[in-house]
Structure 1
């Protein structure tokens, strides 16, 4: 059997993201949303398993996490649009590292997909983590390697400038 084409894999990835993102419209980015996401699309769900496979395929095919800087692989997969509930979609691949400090003017929804069993993102295991509007952090993966999918409302993110 032939391997799926890049276009087919990207389309599958987009459909998986849209399944969740379109259900988020108008919802507050808070602890209740995090709980809901983990209950419906968490690490024990079939959807999560499919997303893990889609990320592995995307990295192997070279259309996911195609950039690298400072030991972090990353890339914006989709700009914010109606088909994705107004969210942009980024995926990073990190291994035992802290990323650049940034803030989330409208919040950030993260899906943690450990490549190394037990890897943690900002102290969270496999599943979802939600940061509310105005939050900020140094995204950090410890205890191994993980992909983290970021949903950013309207694609908004602000990286902290380094002091000169």
Structure 2
């Protein structure tokens, strides 16, 4: 069994630009609007992050696991480098993922790999869930990468 390559410092530094800006903000609709304005899908930050995520998938330090048609992996554990957020990336193609809840909220960056791909109804950009929310994540219309930030690394998967 080969060991997963380390997450590059450049990726952590790129994500920290956002986590530094949102560390004291409550996840919810106001934060979603703010992120879609400040770190929009047509920004240089988005383009650079998308390129890093694609490279991470190709190089094996992102999305190294697969279950139920969803590729996934935790790139960064919550900690000081990302202001208390964990960083995960998933790759989904026309699939519904496992039901889970977000004790502290969930902040998702949607990066469509196929034109028209959407995550929970959102194309390229940010989708934010408030604390205590829950969902079955869904990608429709093709393939997408979704980077998600979890305050405190908190997520609870529903047992079947």
TM-score, scaled to structure 2: 0.94
Cα shift at 1:28 = 1.2
Cα RMSD (Å): 1.1
The alpha-carbon deviation at position 83 of structure 1 amounts to 1.6
User: 126, 143, 147: which one pairs with 1:149?
Assistant: 147
1:131 to 112, 125, 129: 129
Matched-pair contact (CA < 8 Å) for 1:34–1:128: yes
Displacement of 1:32 in angstroms is 0.9
> In structure 2, what is the equivalent of residue 120 of structure 1?
118
* Pick aligned residue for 2:14 from 9, 13, 16: 16
Aligned pairs for 1:58-137 within 5 A: 58-137=56-135
Structure 1 stretches of 4+ moved >3 Å:
none
What are the superposed Cα offsets for residues 19-59 of structure 1, whole Å, 9 maximum, x if unpaired? 00111111111111101101111101000000110011111
TM-score for both structures, normalised by structure 1: 0.92
User: 2:41, 2:152 → 1: CA distance?
Assistant: 26
* Structure possessing the higher radius of gyration over alpha carbons: 1
Once residues 131 and 114 of structure 1 are traced to their aligned partners in structure 2, the CA distance between those partners, rounded to angstroms, is 19
